[in-house]
Amino acid sequence: MEIRGGAIVKRIDKQRALLGLSRKDVAIAGGLKSPQSLTDWSKGSIPQADTAVYIADRLEVSVRWLLTGEDESGLNLDERNLVIKYQSLDDQGRFEVKALLDAKLTVLEKKQTAAG
């Protein structure tokens, strides 16, 4: 697993937009002198541990997700959101999603078999 400053900033920007926060809000939460520090991370540096903890708390995400893009289960944000949506479905909705996934996987397997 690689921790890259540019990817961290992208995750910060994505999550802060969801929460309606500015870069300044994030900088203040992280104890940074200015939002410019986030731009500096885009160029390769990464936040110190305490800064990452404060920012993750403000963004309502785990430090692991902030730094790597994965949550404790190994899911990225999009995958986690899919699980949450799936869990909100009733039994019929879950059945339909499973059927759609099975159909898509069957088509994929056939394509792979034909190509291989």
- What pLDDT shows up at residue 1? 66
Question: SS3 for 106?
Answer: helix
> Residue 45: which CATH number?
1.10.260.40
For 87, list phi and psi in degrees, rounded to 5.
-65, -25
Question: Does 14 share its domain with 60?
Answer: yes
Q: Which of 77, 73, 72, 74 is nearest to 8 (CA)?
A: 77
> How does DSSP assign 2-35, residue by residue?
---HHHHHHHHHHHHHHHT--HHHHHHHTT-S-T
> For the segment 66-96, what is each residue's pLDDT rounded down to a tens digit?
999 887 777 777 887 888 899 999 999 999 9
Same domain, 54 and 101: no
Compute CA distances 20 → 16, 24, 26, 67, 72, whole Å.
6, 12, 11, 21, 25
Do 9 and 54 sit in the same domain of this protein?
Answer: yes
- pTM of the full structure: 0.64
For the chain, the farthest-separated pair of C-alpha atoms sits apart, in whole angstroms, at 58
User: Domain range spanning residue 93?
Assistant: 77-115
Collect the ranges in the chain with pLDDT lower than 50. none
Both 103 and 49 in one domain: the answer is no
Q: Looking at the 3D structure of the chain, how many domains does it have?
A: 2
